[in-house]
Amino acid sequence: MEGLKIIIADDEALIRLDLREMLTEAGHTVLGEASDGEEAVELARRLKPDLVIMDVKMPKMDGIQAMIKIRERSNVPVILLTAKGEDSDKVLGLTVGADDYITKPFNPIEVSARVKSQLRRYMQLGGGTVRPDVIRVGGIELDDKEKRVMLDGEPVTLTPTEYEILKLLIQNPGQVFSPKEIYTRIWNDLPLGSENTVAVHIRHLREKLEINPAEPRYLKVVWGQGYKCEKQG
Tens digits of residue pLDDT in 5-22:
899 999 999 999 999 999
Give the number of domains in the chain: 2
Is residue 132 predicted with pLDDT exceeding 60? no
Q: Under 8 Å CB-to-CB from 58, ≥6 apart: which residues? A: 9, 10, 11, 35, 36, 37, 40, 66
- Boundary-marking domain end, from 126, 149, 180: 126
Domain assignment of residue 52, given as a range: 5-126
Is residue 149 predicted with pLDDT exceeding 70? yes
- Asked whether 40 and 70 are in contact (CB, 8 A), the reply is yes
Look up the CATH number of the domain holding residue 21: 3.40.50.2300
pTM, entire model: 0.58
| Shared domain check, 160 and 73 | no
What's the pLDDT score for residue 9?
96
What's the pLDDT score for residue 201?
92
